[in-house]
Structure 1
Amino acid sequence: MGTEDDVIYLGFDSSTQSLKVTALDAKLKIVAFENVHFDSELPHYETKDGVHRNRGGIGRITGPVLMWVEALQTGLDKLKKNGFPFHKVVAVSGSGQQHGSVYWKIGSSEVLRRLDASQTLVSQLKDVFSTNDSPVWMDSSSSKQCEEIEEALGGPQALCDLTGSRAHERFTGPQIRKLYQTQEDVYNTTERISLVSSFMASLLVGNYASIDHADGAGMNLMDLKERTWSDAALEATAPNLKEKLGNLAPSHGLAGKIHSYFVNRYGFSPECVGINWSGDNPCSLAGLAIEKPGDLGISLGTSDTVFGVSTDPKPGVDGHIFPNPVDPNSYMCMLCYKNGSLTRQEVRDKCAGKSWDTFNRLLDETSPLNGGKIGFYYSEPEILPPLPAGRHRFDLKENSGSAVVHVDSFDDPTEVRAIVEGQFMAMRSHAKNFGMPDPERVIATGGASANHHLLRVCADVFGCNVYIASRPDSASLGAALRAAHGHRLRTDKTFTFASLLKEASEDSATQLSLATTAGASELHGSYDSLAEKKLMCEKLLLQLSLAQSIPID
């Protein structure tokens, strides 16, 4: 397969709207990249944004399984057309949209093992699924099942302590329970239930791949501490579930050697190995080179996500804890905020004439701490904290001790700073409460990470430097890095992810760029105090019947 330096690691990301492929060389430089956009390139599946909405009732959102199969083939075909050297690939891994599930019909494993390279994957797999519509992370139709599972296991916090998260509609356990209750015939004819990640891995190795620990934690079914299926959670979900799920496995473990289908059709080496796939959030952690406590990732997108590494996580109903996919001795902590870029955009439209330049100017015109003016801005019902849509503004009056006063409105510049500071202060407070240590650096990603005016406020609030990744495709990049790490672990059991990053060249895909430096330590301390006041206001809003008695816009 060539010399050690003449190798390639391949990473896939089967996300909601597309399939991406990133190829890295031995120095972790990108040598190839492909993207398959579902809506435009596979229009015969009739998806919008990669999914089908409300076809099985209000809130029911699914993805066509065969579309994901065809996307894998299309991505490989694109690489082949461009002369990609498949024979140099020594390891493959991947990322899948978290929580989505795939249901294999009894007898499907035999079809997988006998894949014929002269035929397409879709033609051979079109009849192997007990349902062709897979519930995905956007689905919100399993509220009843969430309540039943939490009640059976002692309540939301008890389920957090056991599995790392309370029951969420998008999580796989409630989705499986709903399938069992509403389509028992489908459940009974299912031989294996895969996550999107382990499903895609199964295609590549021609056998049922195990669900990995990191993605398995997003199911409400795995004992987080023991990293085994929880018998109590399985019993609360559906009968005979353990045999349908198969065994859990470490994220860095071997899924198997690549199937002869891909050797014969594309020219992979028969010695190429598949490393267990994981979820998109764990893979993004790897893709952003977050490998130790003190690194904090912030994704600024349609929703805002905060994630980091902790050796002493504190499970709570507000967030999620998964095993770290690149370090079995630590955990990944994650917080999600539904109101991100679109909510910032609404404030921009109201205060800055739909101009980001004007928004940034107004932000710069105001002083840090905003004169004690703090705000909560929710275009959609928020997850963290669970508050309804609305805008809530408070003014910390001078010479009033700890008192805060509710006000109806701010002037435009103050409004702009209030949303930006408020979002970052919420991230800081909730991350600390969840067991993440104070960050030594923040690594920003997502579309809004290109706005250095926002990142300047982030640096002030967190009191540390803010970096941005050189590549936006953190999930597929993380998958390729995990392929490299898993491959190296096969011959050196002590090889760490940090060691892999140290071997990267200066122009590798793992390099980070300094976006802005830390604010003054005095300013950081002042944000400590203001963040406490914001938490006090948050508790007030929650106590007042989810803000129903407080005037909002």
Structure 2
Amino acid sequence: MTFLGIDIGTSGVKALLIDADGKALGEASAPAVEPVRPQPGWSEQNPADWWAATLGAVDKLKQSHPRELAAVKGIGLSGHMHGATLLGENDTVLRPCILWNDGRSAKECAEMEAALPALRELAGNIAMPGFTAPKIAWVRKNEPEIFRQIRKVLLPKAYVRLLLTGEHVEDMSDGAGTLWMDVARRDWSDALLGVTGLGREHMPRLVEGSAVSAELKAEYAARWGMTGPVVVAGGAGDNAAAACGIGAIRPGEGFVSLGTSGVLFVSNESFSPNTEGAVHAFCHAVPDTWHQMGVILSATDSLNWLSRITGRKQAELSGEAESQFKGPGETIFLPYLSGERTPHNNANARGSFTGLSQSSDPAQLAQAVMEGVSFAMRDCQRVLNDAGTRIDRLLAVGGGSKSALWLKLLATNLDMEIALPEDGDFGGALGAARLGLCAATGARPADVMTMPPILRTIAPDQSLSAAYSDHYARYRALYSAIEEARS
């Protein structure tokens, strides 16, 4: 008996096979067409690209691990959160999905909060353009002909689930990121839905992430050589799935993610909102558990941007920055290329370099980018601490965790040891597979969601702590000064 985790990202899909003991048996990936930006601040993607990449990744596993794939009894799904996938009659996709890092709906956020003063209390979160509901408010106002045709609104992984199973279902963790859920009650809120002109009939059915959501269609079971019923778990939003993959489901356990976006995540035993600091408070993917997140919109995406404008590969830039690293540089980078969530809640914020000189080179800019992202994560830690949140253990996941320098900068600025799992780049897929295991076997999440083997632990560099505290103070002062100058 084996289990399959599928992690649907904006840049591609990763598929991971595990056995009944949680051991990884094989993995495969397939790229997706990159998101497009029709206007500044917008970000969209064709849902068909996720489906093509999903089929491509699992088909690769069929080629490389046919026997193990045939033994799959449970599938878990992980996916990028908040994306508004609008379906009409017969589940026809009405327009490109508006993604998590799309900032067009800032005005609609203010209008929603004015229309429903209890919004923050119900949702546990500030209305931000990244969430799903404001995107629908924008569509309602600017694309009324599309809005009138809406029959269902699905998040990215729920759309892939629909094609795999024929069912409209979502898990609690992803649902909590829509701004339509009463997060404390783990249910859709009629009041929140009503603000955007929708009702429960437009929403998928909610299940816990470790529960059965549906069964795989016979045609895909046959395609991949699977026999007997294959259940699909509720699954999780990408961050909750990563937490399941690295065992962060108990209070005080957390991780720092250096993916396209950046996340400082901590598990909570109860619903713990802190909207003043723009902290996200969501349902976890396992029952009776919640979590908080500080979220920044451009983590490795900041290095991706630098790579594009310099024509240098990301690995080359980070490698050169590490080889010449001597401590804090003169240049400071504000990583607000797509606006920012925590702690500023400002979709119109923009990135900047300060302290440039004739001697500034791509390696120094890369160091500044990694420092700026580390400072943004320090901002997230600060507002979590302000809320009284305790972080006992921190692991690193995401593509940026491959950089030894970036991990050193994070550990030093957060003043915490950071553990690096052996398979840090597959946290979401591993968490999804673990949820699939729970759904198929009835196993307790606490018995399954254990810490994976640790490759190494990165300690703060105390010799740099004071210098980086000074550098961070300058970083914090720049945001207000620059935003004031832009206004």
For the aligned pair, the TM-score class normalised by the smaller chain equals 0.7 to 0.9
Q: CA deviation at 1:245?
A: 0.8
Q: Give the 3-state SS of the residue equivalent to 2:161 in structure 1.
A: helix
Counterparts of 1:343 and 1:232 in 2: how far apart (Å)? Answer: 40
1:8-56 CA distance string (max 9 Å, x none): 01111221121221111112222221212124xxxxxxxxx1x3431xx
- Correspondence for 2:485: 548
Q: Give the 3-state SS of the residue equivalent to 2:103 in structure 1.
A: coil
Residue pair 1:65, 1:132 contacting (<8 A) in 2 also: no
The match for 1:214 among 158, 166, 173 is 173
1:483-503 CA distance string (max 9 Å, x none): 123334x3x5xx233x2145x
Residue pair 1:150, 1:159 contacting (<8 A) in 2 also: yes
Query: How has the CA–CA distance of structure 1 residues 53 and 378 changed in structure 2, closer, same or farther, with 3 Å as cutoff?
Result: closer
Residue pair 1:251, 1:276 contacting (<8 A) in 2 also: yes
Q: CA deviation at 1:258?
A: 2.1
Query: How has the CA–CA distance of structure 1 residues 234 and 418 changed in structure 2, closer, same or farther, with 3 Å as cutoff?
Result: closer
- Correspondence for 1:507: none
Higher mean C-alpha deviation, range 249-258 or range 261-270 = 261-270
Query: How has the CA–CA distance of structure 1 residues 148 and 541 changed in structure 2, closer, same or farther, with 3 Å as cutoff?
Result: same
Quick check: 1:432 aligned with 2:385? yes
Letter in 2 for 1:484: L
Q: CA deviation at 1:480?
A: 0.7
- Correspondence for 1:204: 164
Letter in 1 for 2:128: H
Residue pair 2:246, 2:431 contacting (<8 A) in 1 also: yes
The match for 1:273 among 220, 223, 231 is 231
Counterparts of 2:7 and 2:151 in 1: how far apart (Å)? Answer: 25
Counterparts of 1:278 and 1:381 in 2: how far apart (Å)? Answer: 24
Name the larger-Rg structure: 1
Quick check: 1:61 aligned with 2:54? no
The match for 1:92 among 59, 66, 75 is 75
Counterparts of 1:485 and 1:70 in 2: how far apart (Å)? Answer: 27
Query: How has the CA–CA distance of structure 1 residues 144 and 543 changed in structure 2, closer, same or farther, with 3 Å as cutoff?
Result: closer
Counterparts of 1:27-66 in structure 2, within 5 Å, are 27-39=21-33, 49=34, 51-54=35-38, 59-66=41-48
Quick check: 1:181 aligned with 2:141? yes
Counterparts of 1:478-497 in structure 2, within 5 Å, are 478-488=431-441, 490=442, 495-497=444-446
Residue pair 2:262, 2:377 contacting (<8 A) in 1 also: no
The match for 2:263 among 305, 308, 311 is 305
Counterparts of 2:373 and 2:221 in 1: how far apart (Å)? Answer: 51
Query: How has the CA–CA distance of structure 1 residues 330 and 272 changed in structure 2, closer, same or farther, with 3 Å as cutoff?
Result: same
Counterparts of 2:109 and 2:413 in 1: how far apart (Å)? Answer: 36
Letter in 2 for 1:218: G
Counterparts of 1:85-164 in structure 2, within 5 Å, are 85=67, 86-106=69-89, 108=90, 128-154=91-117, 159-164=119-124
What stretches of structure 1 of length at least 5 have no aligned partner? 1-6, 40-48, 109-127, 394-406, 505-509
Letter in 1 for 2:399: G
- Correspondence for 1:79: 61
Q: Give the 3-state SS of the residue equivalent to 1:23 in structure 2.
A: strand
Query: How has the CA–CA distance of structure 1 residues 410 and 375 changed in structure 2, closer, same or farther, with 3 Å as cutoff?
Result: farther
Q: Give the 3-state SS of the residue equivalent to 1:53 in structure 2.
A: coil
Residue pair 1:376, 1:422 contacting (<8 A) in 2 also: no
Counterparts of 1:420 and 1:247 in 2: how far apart (Å)? Answer: 37
Residue pair 2:103, 2:339 contacting (<8 A) in 1 also: no
Counterparts of 2:88 and 2:40 in 1: how far apart (Å)? Answer: 26
Query: How has the CA–CA distance of structure 1 residues 38 and 247 changed in structure 2, closer, same or farther, with 3 Å as cutoff?
Result: closer
Counterparts of 2:403 and 2:184 in 1: how far apart (Å)? Answer: 39
Residue pair 1:160, 1:315 contacting (<8 A) in 2 also: no
Letter in 2 for 1:441: R
- Correspondence for 1:450: 402
Q: Give the 3-state SS of the residue equivalent to 2:154 in structure 1.
A: strand
Query: When the two structures are superposed, what TM-score results if normalisation uses the length of structure 1?
Result: 0.73
- Correspondence for 1:21: 15
The match for 1:514 among 452, 456, 469 is 456
Letter in 2 for 1:359: A
Residue pair 1:103, 1:190 contacting (<8 A) in 2 also: yes
Letter in 2 for 1:254: V
- Correspondence for 1:315: 274
Counterparts of 1:74 and 1:523 in 2: how far apart (Å)? Answer: 45
Q: CA deviation at 1:479?
A: 0.8
Counterparts of 1:68 and 1:257 in 2: how far apart (Å)? Answer: 20
1:419-472 CA distance string (max 9 Å, x none): 5874554343233235531x3332122333233344334334444322112221
- Correspondence for 2:321: 359
Letter in 1 for 2:416: C
Counterparts of 2:93 and 2:320 in 1: how far apart (Å)? Answer: 53
Q: CA deviation at 1:323?
A: 0.9
Q: CA deviation at 1:211?
A: 1.8
Letter in 1 for 2:150: T
Residue pair 1:304, 1:338 contacting (<8 A) in 2 also: yes
Q: CA deviation at 1:214?
A: 0.5
What stretches of structure 2 of length at least 5 have no aligned partner? 311-315
Residue pair 2:215, 2:229 contacting (<8 A) in 1 also: yes
Letter in 2 for 1:62: E
Q: CA deviation at 1:408?
A: 11
1:204-247 CA distance string (max 9 Å, x none): 22222x221100111111111111222221111114x2211143
Q: Give the 3-state SS of the residue equivalent to 1:180 in structure 2.
A: helix
Letter in 2 for 1:17: S
The match for 1:324 among 273, 284, 287 is 284
Letter in 2 for 1:470: E
- Correspondence for 1:342: 302
Query: When the two structures are superposed, what TM-score results if normalisation uses the length of structure 2?
Result: 0.82
Residue pair 2:133, 2:180 contacting (<8 A) in 1 also: yes
Counterparts of 2:19 and 2:319 in 1: how far apart (Å)? Answer: 39
Counterparts of 1:320 and 1:536 in 2: how far apart (Å)? Answer: 26
Residue pair 2:375, 2:413 contacting (<8 A) in 1 also: no
1:75-127 CA distance string (max 9 Å, x none): 33333334523441111111122112333333x3xxxxxxxxxxxxxxxxxxx
The match for 1:466 among 411, 418, 443 is 418
The match for 2:337 among 376, 380, 391 is 380
Query: How has the CA–CA distance of structure 1 residues 101 and 461 changed in structure 2, closer, same or farther, with 3 Å as cutoff?
Result: closer
Q: Give the 3-state SS of the residue equivalent to 1:321 in structure 2.
A: strand
C-alpha RMSD of matched pairs (Å): 3.8
